[in-house]
A and B are shown apart, each in its own frame.
Chain A
């Protein structure tokens, strides 16, 4: 049963995606419903896998092939946690797309790519084999290429190419690392090489792929430019799924399965700290609302990486909690930006102002999500931020703790500036609220951000199990 659930979580969105254009030709509502059902199926199956994972009765599928090759999927607590996190936000994003994308061409391809992307993400998180992981990794790059270039204008295509080339090149360099592992161990199977200490050159090349995908300085440049995509796409790529793939790979390979040299417990946090501060600085000056949120993503992802890489077990728990809180809140912020962009036909914040009067629901939802990203209680981001800093300091990295606090102050500054410029002050332009579906989507994420803080015992219990901290 559990194996079927795991396969369903992967295959339903992955293969179902190809049915979407067929139905889309005839009945658009059915196509939309199918897209949502496929993603919800992945979510539901992952939730149903949770009791098995918690009871250490993981779903495992293993098919051995010659030459040490294999096909393997493994639904452990970490995989299930990541699957639930990404499909939860993705479901809301698909729902939001019904309102946002309805007037644009290429909708069949849009929903196909979204489902394929989420299916690939499911495949990636449940893979227990490096080659499978790489294949799903590249499928997500392909989907994001088509999705970023959705509007098909020259700028969109150039930036889609940029994102595609950067992430694919990063992945190819990572592949060299995977081949290096095969050369050293004779297998790509993670369950076989669990506990193996990786040579530093392999860690370095795999890190290039991870940092490219998670948009960490200096390999981050594709991410702010990808803001030309429709808002649900940016939400999916920048908040919920794509950038989290890199973080997931880091946790899976370097924290859970394999051992790395202690020197990386200094190198990676330093890279993360530089990335966090530089992108926070860039967010302070940006005038395009989506660029502000995109730089904020780079900054927050770097903070998560900081937590994950400091070499403390509870830091892992804090990092995972941060991934969940950030996915929800940042997803909400992008969707709110989408509603504003939809209403005003601009992303330039200097042309906005006073929108809280005409768009109160969007404004309040945006504020909730912003407060969560800032880490202000009772929103979920508070506990994530607190635990990460706590563990960085516990690891004796007090300087990094101080840098984190500076970054957190900058987060408050740029998000307060963004909220103030867009929603407060004198009304500069007439606007209207988004459609009911779009508003419902942002309300869901805003309320989730709030409840994640008030009912923090639920995610922390899960995260404790993932980190093996019981």
Chain B
């Protein structure tokens, strides 16, 4: 009996990654007001998911086919090096973010619904990563839109802007992905990833297919130009949502697909024009978002712009097409998921105590919240790229790849690193150091242990992944990507390390200068914000001119006006011209139908003449 059950489980293991989370999500919906049971179910299911994911990672590749929708849309699930790596990363991050979310939302009404969405999202993510069929991958991938929309609408139905923006922008990215998938399958003559030989990006169709797929992938990860809902969500959405989606899970999913597109589906050659275009997108995304982060005065908004900017680094690395760039991008993605979700958790921890993340309303909470403060500092240093934290090592790999491709990309990446450091110095000092200031008179203390545990764990990972980077780079990433060359250890170019450290020192000096000039740490970046030229660019950006959502609306608005004009013309034809044309003979007849015998005789005579003429014409 047990053996039979074990056989069923092992045979259907891949399907369990989809069905189990969906089932647990439904269970969570029905367990209400019993936090201990909710927590137990959550922990148990997340740990089982993680153990199963590890088992998958440790085992050989295998696949599983289930007849589903015909027309090449059967469910083909494959566990290989890459998919099992990402399944494991998702499972690990899911455990942390769920644990944090559970304590954050403890005893709140939306707990069950939020967890339902979380588990359904996990099912969708697992499905998308394991699917070998591109069509089915899209099914799971695009299905995430529903949970995204649902999560953004929790307690937010009166402020739906972020939700609608997310639906439109992510929906657009997903539709581009759909076109990309169809074009890819059209060229490869198959929907199965494993059967596709990387397609050369030459000519219209391959180029369009590649960019549609890439935009779909990085759009999910929150890259420009599909990014603008994330800062909007920072205003309205709950912190657990930010921790889970823009912070961790969407980045992992988006990046998994980006890796698949650039390594398995398309042949992205280093130094090619396509590679340069992708890297340009990465640098622009990085610079734009980090520039916007620099001027934010709200922790969650600032972090949201960083969530976008870090994707820029990853796109830069993956766009290089170089093994060091791809390994660096995946490592940075992993690091980013760790430190970004921890940073969001820190913001949430402060919010749970002060009821705000607006830096203008509070400051100096470090003494009251020492653990949050330490976690924030570790993750802040990691994202800024300070050694020996994990972010330093992944950024150095990316810098290496950028320099090998083109020095312009390297300079762009360095400017990004400078601005990241400046903005985190500003946020860290304003929030945790200096004199205590709170929005209202009340005592604050450290958040509860349940929220602190994942924050501490993630902070420790930031250190471990830095100091012992062989673990993530060799044991996980190299195995997943099947690279033979190791990129672990201390960066091989001392010159690049020195340049990076100089940039960080300049950032510290700039912060000190800005603080002194403006009189506060919070306004330390004002001299950049209000510098000539930059001031105008910032003003344009703040008015939403770089927002794809606004541009799409404006464009379609013009198109819609033209359509309405057409529609009015058609209506006028039907309602006025056609009606009058139908009534005209009657009106004419009525005018001449006045009872005059002479007129009738004349008409009859004309008729007779016409008939005779016709008769003659026919005879002749």
A residues whose Cβ falls under 8 Å from a Cβ of B: 162, 166, 217-218, 220-222, 225, 277-282, 284-285, 314, 317-318, 354, 356-357, 371, 374, 376-378, 382-383, 385-387, 389-390, 393-394, 398, 401-402, 405, 408-410, 412-413, 416-417, 420, 423-427, 456-457, 460-461, 464
Segment from B383-391, B430-438, B559-567 that makes contact with A: B559-567
List 19 additional A-B contacts (Cβ < 8 Å) besides A282-B563, A393-B183, A409-B172.
Answer: A220-B570, A221-B573, A222-B574, A278-B566, A284-B556, A354-B158, A378-B143, A382-B142, A385-B178, A405-B176, A405-B178, A409-B175, A412-B167, A412-B175, A413-B552, A416-B171, A424-B163, A425-B158, A425-B160
**B135 in the interface (beta carbon within 8 A):** yes
Q: Count B interface residues, CB 8 Å.
A: 53
**B168 in the interface (beta carbon within 8 A):** yes
Instruction: Determine which of B208, B553, B562 lies in contact with A281 in the assembled complex, contact meaning CB atoms within 8 Å.
Output: B562
| B interface majority secondary structure | helix
Query: Are B186's CB and A426's CB within 8 A?
Result: no
- B contact residues around A374 at 8 Å (CB): 171
Known contacts A376-B143, A424-B158, A461-B70; A281/B560 CB under 8 A: yes
Known contacts A354-B157, A405-B179, A424-B157; A456/B68 CB under 8 A: yes
The complex places the Cα of A387 from the Cα of B208 at a distance, in Å, of: 19
Which 5 A-B pairs give the minimum distances between C-beta atoms?
Answer: A281-B563, A424-B160, A284-B560, A377-B143, A412-B171
Instruction: Determine which of A222, A282, A378, A387 lies in contact with B560 in the assembled complex, contact meaning CB atoms within 8 Å.
Output: A282
A-B contact pairs, 6 of them (CB 8 A): A317-B71, A393-B182, A398-B183, A412-B175, A420-B160, A456-B69
- B contact residues around A426 at 8 Å (CB): 158
Closest residue on chain A to residue B141 by CB atoms: A377
- B contact residues around A420 at 8 Å (CB): 160, 164
- CB within 8 Å of A: which B41-100 residues: 67-71, 73
In the assembled complex, the CB of A336 is this many whole angstroms from the nearest CB of chain B, namely: 16
Query: Are A383's CB and B168's CB within 8 A?
Result: no
Query: Are B138's CB and A282's CB within 8 A?
Result: no
Closest residue on chain B to residue A279 by CB atoms: B563
Residue among A217, A377, A456 having the largest count of chain B Cβ atoms under 10 Å: A377
Closest residue on chain B to residue A407 by CB atoms: B175
Instruction: Determine which of B69, B146, B560 lies in contact with A376 in the assembled complex, contact meaning CB atoms within 8 Å.
Output: B146
- B contact residues around A386 at 8 Å (CB): 73, 135, 138, 178, 182
Query: Are A278's CB and B567's CB within 8 A?
Result: yes
In the assembled complex, the CB of B73 is this many whole angstroms from the nearest CB of chain A, namely: 7
In the assembled complex, the CB of B172 is this many whole angstroms from the nearest CB of chain A, namely: 5
| A interface majority secondary structure | helix
The complex places the Cα of A374 from the Cα of B145 at a distance, in Å, of: 11
In the assembled complex, the CB of A285 is this many whole angstroms from the nearest CB of chain B, namely: 5
Query: Are A401's CB and B179's CB within 8 A?
Result: yes
- B contact residues around A314 at 8 Å (CB): 71
Closest residue on chain B to residue A456 by CB atoms: B69
Query: Are B182's CB and A401's CB within 8 A?
Result: yes
In the assembled complex, the CB of B22 is this many whole angstroms from the nearest CB of chain A, namely: 10
The complex places the Cα of A383 from the Cα of B67 at a distance, in Å, of: 15
In the assembled complex, the CB of B332 is this many whole angstroms from the nearest CB of chain A, namely: 30
**B139 in the interface (beta carbon within 8 A):** yes
In the assembled complex, the CB of A441 is this many whole angstroms from the nearest CB of chain B, namely: 23
Instruction: Determine which of B140, B153, B185, B570 lies in contact with A377 in the assembled complex, contact meaning CB atoms within 8 Å.
Output: B140
- B contact residues around A416 at 8 Å (CB): 164, 167-168, 171
**B205 in the interface (beta carbon within 8 A):** yes
Closest residue on chain A to residue B186 by CB atoms: A393
Known contacts A386-B135, A405-B178; A162/B146 CB under 8 A: no
- B contact residues around A317 at 8 Å (CB): 71
**B355 in the interface (beta carbon within 8 A):** no
- A contact residues around B560 at 8 Å (CB): 281-282, 284-285
The complex places the Cα of A281 from the Cα of B67 at a distance, in Å, of: 39
Query: Are B69's CB and A460's CB within 8 A?
Result: yes
The complex places the Cα of A285 from the Cα of B139 at a distance, in Å, of: 30
Using an 8 Å CB-CB cutoff, how does the interface string of B408-427 with A read, 1 for contact, 0 for none?
A: 00000000000000000000
- A contact residues around B67 at 8 Å (CB): 457
Closest residue on chain A to residue B140 by CB atoms: A377
Instruction: Determine which of B69, B175, B561 lies in contact with A408 in the assembled complex, contact meaning CB atoms within 8 Å.
Output: B175
In the assembled complex, the CB of B209 is this many whole angstroms from the nearest CB of chain A, namely: 10
**B575 in the interface (beta carbon within 8 A):** yes
- A contact residues around B205 at 8 Å (CB): 398
The complex places the Cα of A281 from the Cα of B568 at a distance, in Å, of: 13
**B571 in the interface (beta carbon within 8 A):** yes
Query: Are B556's CB and A402's CB within 8 A?
Result: no
- B contact residues around A382 at 8 Å (CB): 139, 142
Closest residue on chain B to residue A426 by CB atoms: B158
Closest residue on chain B to residue A159 by CB atoms: B575
Closest residue on chain A to residue B167 by CB atoms: A416
Closest residue on chain B to residue A408 by CB atoms: B175
In the assembled complex, the CB of B582 is this many whole angstroms from the nearest CB of chain A, namely: 9
Residue among B158, B175, B178 having the largest count of chain A Cβ atoms under 10 Å: B175
**B486 in the interface (beta carbon within 8 A):** no
Query: Are A389's CB and B70's CB within 8 A?
Result: no
The complex places the Cα of A200 from the Cα of B261 at a distance, in Å, of: 45
The complex places the Cα of A156 from the Cα of B146 at a distance, in Å, of: 38
In the assembled complex, the CB of B308 is this many whole angstroms from the nearest CB of chain A, namely: 21
- A contact residues around B174 at 8 Å (CB): 376
- B contact residues around A282 at 8 Å (CB): 560, 563-564, 567
Closest residue on chain B to residue A389 by CB atoms: B182
The complex places the Cα of A387 from the Cα of B139 at a distance, in Å, of: 12
Using an 8 Å CB-CB cutoff, how does the interface string of B140-167 with A read, 1 for contact, 0 for none?
A: 1011011000000100011110011001
Query: Are B68's CB and A457's CB within 8 A?
Result: yes
Instruction: Determine which of A221, A377, A402, A409 lies in contact with B142 in the assembled complex, contact meaning CB atoms within 8 Å.
Output: A377
The complex places the Cα of A318 from the Cα of B71 at a distance, in Å, of: 9
- A contact residues around B564 at 8 Å (CB): 281-282, 285
Query: Are A464's CB and B70's CB within 8 A?
Result: yes
- B contact residues around A385 at 8 Å (CB): 178
Closest residue on chain A to residue B74 by CB atoms: A457
**B536 in the interface (beta carbon within 8 A):** no
Closest residue on chain A to residue B69 by CB atoms: A456
In the assembled complex, the CB of A295 is this many whole angstroms from the nearest CB of chain B, namely: 8
The complex places the Cα of A277 from the Cα of B561 at a distance, in Å, of: 12
In the assembled complex, the CB of B167 is this many whole angstroms from the nearest CB of chain A, namely: 5
Query: Are B559's CB and A281's CB within 8 A?
Result: yes
- B contact residues around A218 at 8 Å (CB): 570
**B11 in the interface (beta carbon within 8 A):** no
- A contact residues around B138 at 8 Å (CB): 377, 386
Instruction: Determine which of B176, B182, B552 lies in contact with A390 in the assembled complex, contact meaning CB atoms within 8 Å.
Output: B182
Query: Are A285's CB and B140's CB within 8 A?
Result: no
**B10 in the interface (beta carbon within 8 A):** no
The complex places the Cα of A218 from the Cα of B552 at a distance, in Å, of: 26
Closest residue on chain A to residue B183 by CB atoms: A393
The complex places the Cα of A464 from the Cα of B68 at a distance, in Å, of: 13
The complex places the Cα of A405 from the Cα of B571 at a distance, in Å, of: 27
Query: Are A376's CB and B142's CB within 8 A?
Result: yes
The complex places the Cα of A201 from the Cα of B139 at a distance, in Å, of: 43
**B557 in the interface (beta carbon within 8 A):** yes
Closest residue on chain A to residue B187 by CB atoms: A393
Using an 8 Å CB-CB cutoff, how does the interface string of B539-567 with A read, 1 for contact, 0 for none?
A: 00000000000001100110111111011
Closest residue on chain B to residue A419 by CB atoms: B164
Query: Are A376's CB and B171's CB within 8 A?
Result: yes
Known contacts A221-B570, A221-B571; A284/B71 CB under 8 A: no
Closest residue on chain A to residue B557 by CB atoms: A284
The complex places the Cα of A415 from the Cα of B415 at a distance, in Å, of: 41
The complex places the Cα of A410 from the Cα of B552 at a distance, in Å, of: 10
- A contact residues around B145 at 8 Å (CB): 376
- B contact residues around A409 at 8 Å (CB): 171-172, 175, 552
- A contact residues around B575 at 8 Å (CB): 162
Known contacts A413-B556, A457-B67; A405/B160 CB under 8 A: no
Residue among B69, B138, B142, B566 having the largest count of chain A Cβ atoms under 10 Å: B69
The complex places the Cα of A285 from the Cα of B142 at a distance, in Å, of: 27
Query: Are B157's CB and A405's CB within 8 A?
Result: no
- A contact residues around B159 at 8 Å (CB): 425
- A contact residues around B168 at 8 Å (CB): 412-413, 416
